[in-house]
Each structure stands twice: as structure tokens, then as C-alpha cells.
Homo-oligomer: A and B are copies of this chain.
């Protein structure tokens, strides 16, 4: 494993090794030493949350960071190619974390530089560290990844975190319920992958009856920009709000997850319940990223 660009690059064994190492780090069983190591955090598309999470991961293992945030990299303004910028930064640092609005940017980065690259989100394409922390959160709360009943709610067409999670769980005999408006359903290519893998799933447009027997409810934001008709958005928005009532017939072990930021998809009245897990989920991003940084920098194996 030289880079982390896409979940599809990881074997099942590599994925499980990352989760295990994250658990060892979180539990204090191992503490990879990144002192003297320098990671460049290049956020061409700002993201306080993901930026802070990587920054925390490095610094809590003794490492240091170089940070760039903003669409206007000064070198880009001067007409420099992305390849040149990355090659230069690879002269200063030991690893590059890159977030870009451009799909494929991280893969390209891995081709032009010699140091490890972590994809922290490339447009609508991949955000593999989010998928890994989602898996980690599921395993931590359910005790296993095998045979779980998982609902995905919200924008399933454009939501990259939903796509990555479905792909990542597919090998663990899940049962999926997809809850979304008709025009925001899970893309056909993902459904075909699930069919090929023999995964059970079904789709519904409302939250009716989704809760009983469910282990994980994974909620994503529905963005206004996805609707041509603002009125339709207003209707739809209110139909996919998770509140206490919807959770009234849930198993005690059901956990509600959300990649954050949330707007109103999960009512704040859920925050105080045993089902709420989104903030701990965010916290889980730190050991996952620590595990990845340690593996890619050769400080763990």
C-alpha cells in the first residue's frame, strides 16, 4: 500500500488491517511515532472538519504539518501546473493529503510524485478516509461488519460517502434499504455491483417501516442545488428527517450515523438519545487517519 486514492484499491485484508490498527491506536495498545515526519495538507477546496482531523491525527502522533487551504493556490495563479506544484511540495514533505474539487486529482497526484498520497476527497468521486471511518464506526458499535441491516437515507445519487460505504460493506453480507426521492436513487452501476455480489437490497421513497430490525441508519444531506423545482425540495426535505418518532420502534443498538455537516436531516432531539452516533463518528476519523498515516509513512505495518 503506497497511497490511498480509492476504496477500490484496498483488498478486504488491507481494509481490515487498517481498522484493526486504528483500534489498537485508539485503545493505546500501540502508538506509532511520527516525530520528525511532515505531512502537507493541500486543501484546494476548504474543509475545516477534514483538515482538522488530519492535522490532529499527525500532531497527536508527534508529527508536523504544512497547511494550504483555499482554491487560490498562489502557484496556480501564476500559471503553474498541478504536477509542478505537487512535485515541489513533495520536495518539502513526507506525504501529501490532497482535497480537490476535481475528480481524479488524487490519482493524478500519485502518478507525478514519489511520496505517498492520501485522497481527502476529489469532487463527487471518492473520499476513502470517510468510508474507512464509517466502517470503523459500524464495527465499533455493532461488534462486527458481517450480516448487518443498514439503511442509507437521503441523496443516494450524488452522495459519494453513501456510494463508498455501500461498496465497502458489500463483501460483508449486508441487507441494504435505500431511502431516497425517486430522482436521487442509488446509481445503476452500484446496484449492478451489488447484484453481482449477491447482496440483498431494496429501495423505498419514505422512511415508513424502515426502523424495525435495523442496525445502522446512515443519513446524508439532500442539497437544494439538486432540485430544479424549489418547492419539490421543500417537500422532500421534510420527508427525510430522522426524529425521535421514527426511532420509536428501533432496536436499542441502532446507531444513526451522518458524515456531517448536517443541516436538518437529523433532528437535534435525536442528539440526546442512545442512537445518536454522528459526533463520535467524527471522532473516529482521528484513529483511522492515524492508522493510515502510520502505515503509509512506514511507522506501522
Contacts and interface: CB of A to CB of B under 8 A. Distances in A.
Given A80-B261, A260-B88, A55 B66 contact: yes
A159 to B, nearest CB: 14
**Listed residue (A48, A64, A91, A282) with the most chain B CB atoms within 10 angstroms of its CB:** A48
Given A91-B283, A279-B91, A64 B75 contact: no
Contact of A53 (B79, B92, B279): B92
Contact of A89 (B52, B73, B74, B75): B52
A234 interface: no
Contacts of A73: 48
26 contacts: A36-B60, A38-B56, A38-B59, A48-B68, A48-B74, A49-B75, A49-B88, A52-B66, A52-B93, A53-B92, A55-B92, A56-B92, A59-B64, A59-B66, A79-B261, A79-B263, A80-B260, A80-B261, A80-B262, A80-B263, A83-B268, A84-B262, A87-B279, A88-B279, A91-B282, A92-B283
Interface string A14-41: 0000000000000000000000101010
Interface of A: 36, 38, 40, 46-49, 52-53, 55-56, 59-60, 64, 66-68, 73-75, 78-80, 83-85, 87-89, 91-93, 221, 260-263, 268, 279-280, 282-283, 286
Total copies of the chain: 3
Contacts of A85: 48, 261
A281 to B, nearest CB: 9
A100 to B, nearest CB: 15
Contact of A92 (B36, B46, B52, B68): B52
Given A47-B74, A78-B221, 15 more contacts: A40-B52, A48-B75, A49-B88, A52-B68, A52-B92, A55-B66, A56-B93, A59-B66, A79-B263, A80-B260, A85-B261, A88-B260, A91-B283, A92-B283, A92-B286
